[in-house]
Amino acid sequence: MIKTGSVALLFFFSLSLEAAVPSVKVLIAKSLKNIIVEGIDLRKTIHTQKISQQYSGRKILSFNCGTQNKNARSLPKNSLLVASLSSPTGLVSWGNQKYKGELQLLTNPKQESCDLVNLVPMESYLTTLLSKEMNGTWPVEALKAQAVAARTYAYDRIRRGIKVENEEKLYHLESSEKDQVSGSYFDATKNTQVAAKETEGEILVGPTGKIAPAFFHSKCGGKTLRPDQVWGGVEEGYRSVNCTFCQSTGMKDWKHQMKGEKLTSMVDQVLKKYYSDQVQGEGIRIMPDSIHNSEIRLYAGDRLHIIKKSYLRNMAGRETLPSNNFVMQTKNNQIQVEGSGYGHGVGLCQLGALELAKRGYDYRQILSFYFPRHRMRKVY
């Protein structure tokens, strides 16, 4: 059970009740050759030519970003804001989807194509994200916990600006598993709207008040991990917590086999990429392990290597290793892999949050359990 004393650790304070709701720039599509945008009373701005135009009634606009575009070759090879489109109705259509806010066309830095960005107010962004990252019909308290975590992640990206990983980008984050998966206008539900509204402006901060990403995943499989155990970087306030709440739902424990040669190849790639080393000698011998250890110990030839399981997962792919909680052992010249959970395992366990909400816990208690050293802050 969750101890009530631990719940009290997550207290709330306000930074600014007067601050405006920020907008987030979300990359929703990459490397498009042709883009067709539709809306009522559309306003189009071509930034490369500093031209704006307003259309009356329903309008369909087409943009050719492929090799047939005679201007494509003269554009810079870094991202460039080409055009933006908005409507007084608040909705703009692309494909079969409608989006709140503004759609922006960027040149793709790697090829003659365009990327598509949605500039949208934070709270509207969250109402669609909750249906994608969780489920729009889940209990509101679980969705509220997810809303705070996702808002924290996005707010941290906005605070850092558009310069990401030493590269100037014209968006804050991607709508993908790389960052957070968001949706379009019709993905919002009554529950997701309530969850966003009732947590508006609330984020998590570390013990010293530092704003940092709040991570989440589908199913921890019994124990969450710290960021340093998975990615190597230390984030303030994270602890690994034992979680039994996700065990009876979602993906069951999994197992499969792989050839020894495949494991040897994976280990060699991991050693080269992350440890500036390589397999020397023949064969891989796996040492006794526990499913919740974050590292695996094995011999490659005569040398002992201690490798992060998350690095092996990155190399193997999510289908081969659905989570970072697994053990490997050799049986009949095959490598048998057994594991539990789904996702990287850091921060909020979504299926655990679902079970806690069903048991009557509110979102602050849920967040207190998975982020026991964090505090709540209202930033707008």
CA distance 207 to 7: 15
* Confidence at residue 71, expressed as pLDDT on a 0 to 100 scale: 47
| Residue 199 structure tokens | 């947590």
Calculate mean pLDDT across residues 228-248: 94
Average pLDDT of every residue of the chain? 91
Provide CB contacts within 8 A for 123, sequence distance 6+: 21, 196, 197, 200
Q: Domain-by-domain residue ranges, the chain?
A: 12-16+123-249+344-378, 26-121, 254-339
Q: What is the DSSP letter of 185?
A: G
Residue range 88-147, pLDDT digits in tens: 999 999 999 999 999 999 987 666 899 999 999 999 999 999 999 999 999 999 999 999
Calculate mean pLDDT across residues 219-234: 94
Measured in Å, how far apart are the chain's first and last C-alpha atoms? 33
DSSP string of 159-188? HH-SEETTEE-SSSEEBSTTSB----GGG-
Nearest CA to 214 out of 201, 228, 225, 203 is that of 203
